[in-house]
Structure 1
Amino acid sequence: MHEKQKHIYVGVDLHKQHHVAVIINCWQEKLDEIKFENKPSAFSTFLLDIDALTEEGLTPIFGLEDVGGYGRALAQFLTDHGQVVKEVNPALSYAERKSYVTVQKSDSWDAECVARILVRQLSQLPNAKPHDLFWSIQQLVTRRNALVKAQGALKNQLHIQLSHHYPSYKKFFSESCLEGVSIKQLTTFLLEVSHNTCSVKKANEILKLVIEDGNTTKEHQETRDFLVRSIVRDISFKKKEMNYVEGELKQLMSLLDFQLDSMPGIDLVTASALIAEIGDVRRFPNANKLARFAGIAPVYFGSGGKGKEQKSKQGNRALHALFYNLAVQQVQVAKGSKLPRNPVFYAYYQRKLKEGKTKGQALVCIMRRLVNIVYGMMKHQTSVPKRQNRARIVDTVIT
């Protein structure tokens, strides 16, 4: 008996309120269809229904598309009960639907397409391994990203209100707030709120703009003042919430015992974002698999015996962006000192440029080396060596 004949295949189309499962055999013949609610009490009945359909000597294999969203609870339940659960990429089921002459779309057909993919690509599909800790970190990262996005929108609204108030636009305070304020007092305030980036010169410019603008009071000025204060309060609230989220992230990250923040350019936020996208690094046999997952490894395109490797536009784009930003930081020159932040990577970057690569291609080379370093740090839970040894280690990795 062929290995595929030893199983029945259960494709599940996942939704918020309910799920639809279609069961087929290895010859892709439809055996049954089951609709059940998305709650733990219904999962037990669903599993009993599958057992009733499973003939002696056969075992069921489940295929789920969204194991991190609506299907996470079901995936967790099935794995806890010793079932084989495969994660099916939505792109595969989409391509399956489009491969037929007559394209149709329904819950039943979507579930059957997932089951058909199970039959054909059983050995290639990854096992679904829901992990509460990684999932919680992912949710916190998503929450923080939403706060950052909302804060950016609020800042844009604040700039719009300020442009209505003040023709100079660079004025950040009302005249009443700055009346009688000295240059020294304003400079002290600016240094505190800007983390020592604003200078005496900036304080002089602000006071000068206040005087040049003259009287900017308009009709219904109280309403506009209220809007400014309301937006500022909301920005302050978002900032506090962001601190709470980062505090929770710090606690969860300590449970993993990863030391990614020992690497230059990786702080708590970047480390948590990397873990949120990578998840359990053990699901990648080697760094090459992780690089392909992130869309960093080149892809061969060819036909008729001719072709070449090109930059991939596939893969996890969020993870790709994280490695890109990290690579940019490695080759940046520090302000003031004019020295590269990472001399080894900077030299490697310059060497790639001299070889004829574009700046973008050289950055991709650095991204690929960073994947090796991050993969090794996560898999072995190690830190980047101290400064005196760091250059030697990194130079070994990139060469």
Structure 2
Amino acid sequence: MIHIGIDVSKYKHDCFIATETVSHQFSFENNQSGFKELLDKLKPYSKQEMIIGLEATGHYGENLKSFLTLHGCSFMEINPFLVKKFGEANSLRKTKTDKKDAQLISTYLRSVDYKAYHHQSYHISALKSLTRLRSKLISMRTRHYNMMTKVLDVIFPEYKPFMHERGYSETSLYILKHYSSPGRIAKLNDDHHDKLHRLSKGKFSYPRFVKLRELAKSTIGVAQDHQLFKLKTSISHVGMLTKDIDETERQIASLMDRYPTKIQTIKGIGIISAAIILCEYGDISLFSNPAGMLSYAGLDSTIKQSGTMSSTGRLVKRGSKYLRAALINVCMMVMIYNPVFYAYYSKKKQEGKHHRVALVHLAKKLIRVIHHLETNQEDFDSKKMK
């Protein structure tokens, strides 16, 4: 077999080719001529004998992976942390260069089972990019929500407790955008209520409208021009971010039509949550057992054992934070719609587990179920669960 390690970086990549008798090392640029050079170097070898490995280094390797896939070359992505520990176990010297890393990856490939990424797994990277973009857009919107709350604490501190919203509803944003100061809100009339009533689909009742006006009239807040400007700016950003989030979700839904999955057969898991789980794991068939999926999500516990002492600690949290958050959050909905999951959650609570700890146990069970469904291509059936 020919073991080929590629160390990926921004402007160039280093490659180490090791056969049973000789080895060859070279660098190639991250452009078309560099990729052609790599292809020329690989031509003497059979694609069936080549074992190509590269570290998972974010977006720097996307074009290279696309190029390899286009030319029929399979490859294996490796966790950089595993390569680092492998190197530390084989040498006490603290030498780290791109060339050494490429050689280390090639050597590491000799010690593990080769699991090539499927062509479909690579194309799921588009889905992964969109779901992570959505997460970042939501975080940005949340920051503007917090800024709006800080401003309201100064100009109209009674507003937020009265509206009793986790974020800001469409009705609330409309009020703050068009009647930002307490003085203007205090002067609203019945015609304004009709508009708000329709916008809220009947939820913003007339008694609440009257109460809001009274609070605006008697507020202890001070409407300062610079604070009103901050509020206006944040509302504008929230509006743009909301449109971007909606468009991102539409594109995610469109991509999900191309990748049939059994994850959504579990009640409570929507298309966005299913997309995050699917794209973060990639090709689930690469996981021989659920334990590997647990470790990938960082949901396995640390284990310390020495002599007669043995203990388990906190979660490792070395996996994908997006995947881990999605799994734990979706469990809240899964146990609402599936009695068998709620029974398992209740069992953990009765054992004295904290709410978040019980959710982690439920997430582990959910992973085991997902692995079974995707491996056997079965729809979820609660009657089959133990």
TM-score tier, shorter chain, comes to: 0.7 to 0.9
**Residue 342 of structure 2: aligned partner:** 346
SS at match of 2:272: helix
Distance in 2, Cα, partners of 1:215 & 1:26: 78
Deviation of 1:111 after TM superposition, in Å, equals 1.6
Deviation of 1:135 after TM superposition, in Å, equals 1.2
**Residue 15 of structure 1: aligned partner:** 9
Distance in 2, Cα, partners of 1:163 & 1:361: 34
Give the one of 328, 331, 344 matched to 1:327.
331
**Residue 110 of structure 1: aligned partner:** 101
**Residue 272 of structure 2: aligned partner:** 269
CA distance 1:181–1:289, shift in 2 (3 Å): same
SS at match of 1:256: coil
Distance in 2, Cα, partners of 1:84 & 1:308: 41
- Structure 1 unpaired stretches of 5+: 1-5, 332-339, 385-392
CA distance 1:288–1:122, shift in 2 (3 Å): closer
**Residue 256 of structure 2: aligned partner:** 253
CA distance 1:202–1:25, shift in 2 (3 Å): farther
Query: Aligned partner of 1:117: which letter?
Result: Y
CA distance 1:395–1:236, shift in 2 (3 Å): same
Deviation of 1:185 after TM superposition, in Å, equals 4.5
**Residue 41 of structure 2: aligned partner:** 49
**Residue 178 of structure 1: aligned partner:** 185
Deviation of 1:159 after TM superposition, in Å, equals 2.3
Deviation of 1:147 after TM superposition, in Å, equals 0.9
Query: Aligned partner of 1:95: which letter?
Result: K
Q: Is the 8 A contact 1:19 1:35 kept in 2?
A: yes
Distance in 2, Cα, partners of 1:136 & 1:196: 40
**Residue 388 of structure 1: aligned partner:** none
Distance in 1, Cα, partners of 2:33 & 2:206: 66
Distance in 2, Cα, partners of 1:248 & 1:34: 40
Deviation of 1:247 after TM superposition, in Å, equals 1.0
**Residue 66 of structure 2: aligned partner:** 76
**Are residues 1:282 and 2:273 paired?**
no
Deviation of 1:57 after TM superposition, in Å, equals 12
**Residue 81 of structure 2: aligned partner:** 91
Distance in 1, Cα, partners of 2:61 & 2:39: 15
CA distance 1:258–1:106, shift in 2 (3 Å): same
Task: Give 1:1-399 correspondences, 5 Å limit.
Answer: 6-7=1-2, 9-25=3-19, 31-51=23-43, 59-66=49-56, 69-99=59-89, 100-119=91-110, 121-123=111-113, 125-131=114-120, 132-166=122-156, 168=158, 170=160, 172=176, 173-182=180-189, 185-186=192-193, 189=196, 192-193=199-200, 202-213=208-219, 216-218=222-224, 221=225, 223-258=226-261, 260-296=263-299, 301-304=304-307, 307=310, 312-313=315-316, 314-331=318-335, 341-355=337-351, 359-379=355-375, 383-384=379-380, 393-397=381-385, 399=386
CA distance 1:102–1:197, shift in 2 (3 Å): farther
Q: Is the 8 A contact 1:298 1:310 kept in 2?
A: yes
Q: Is the 8 A contact 1:191 1:199 kept in 2?
A: no
Q: Is the 8 A contact 2:196 2:204 kept in 1?
A: no
List per-residue Cα deviations over 1:254-300 (Å, max 9, x = no partner).
12233544433212221111112122222223444433433445676
Query: Aligned partner of 1:70: which letter?
Result: Y
Deviation of 1:216 after TM superposition, in Å, equals 3.3
SS at match of 2:146: helix
Tell me the matched-pair count.
Answer: 366
Distance in 2, Cα, partners of 1:263 & 1:235: 33
Deviation of 1:325 after TM superposition, in Å, equals 1.6
- Structure 2 unpaired stretches of 5+: 163-175
TM-score (norm 1): 0.77
Q: CA RMSD in A?
A: 3.5
List per-residue Cα deviations over 1:31-88 (Å, max 9, x = no partner).
3321111134422221222446x6x999443220127622233233334434352222
**Residue 336 of structure 1: aligned partner:** none
Q: Percent identity?
A: 22
CA distance 1:271–1:39, shift in 2 (3 Å): same
List per-residue Cα deviations over 1:138-189 (Å, max 9, x = no partner).
1111211121111111222222333343354648531453243247844862
CA distance 1:353–1:230, shift in 2 (3 Å): closer
Distance in 2, Cα, partners of 1:234 & 1:21: 45
Query: Aligned partner of 1:47: which letter?
Result: L
**Higher alpha-carbon deviation: 9-18 or 260-269:** 260-269
CA distance 1:306–1:343, shift in 2 (3 Å): same
Distance in 1, Cα, partners of 2:223 & 2:194: 25
Q: Is the 8 A contact 1:292 1:315 kept in 2?
A: yes
Q: Is the 8 A contact 1:258 1:382 kept in 2?
A: no
Deviation of 1:217 after TM superposition, in Å, equals 4.5
**Higher alpha-carbon deviation: 223-232 or 352-361:** 352-361
Q: Is the 8 A contact 1:40 1:73 kept in 2?
A: no
Q: Is the 8 A contact 2:75 2:117 kept in 1?
A: yes
CA distance 1:396–1:129, shift in 2 (3 Å): closer
Deviation of 1:251 after TM superposition, in Å, equals 1.0
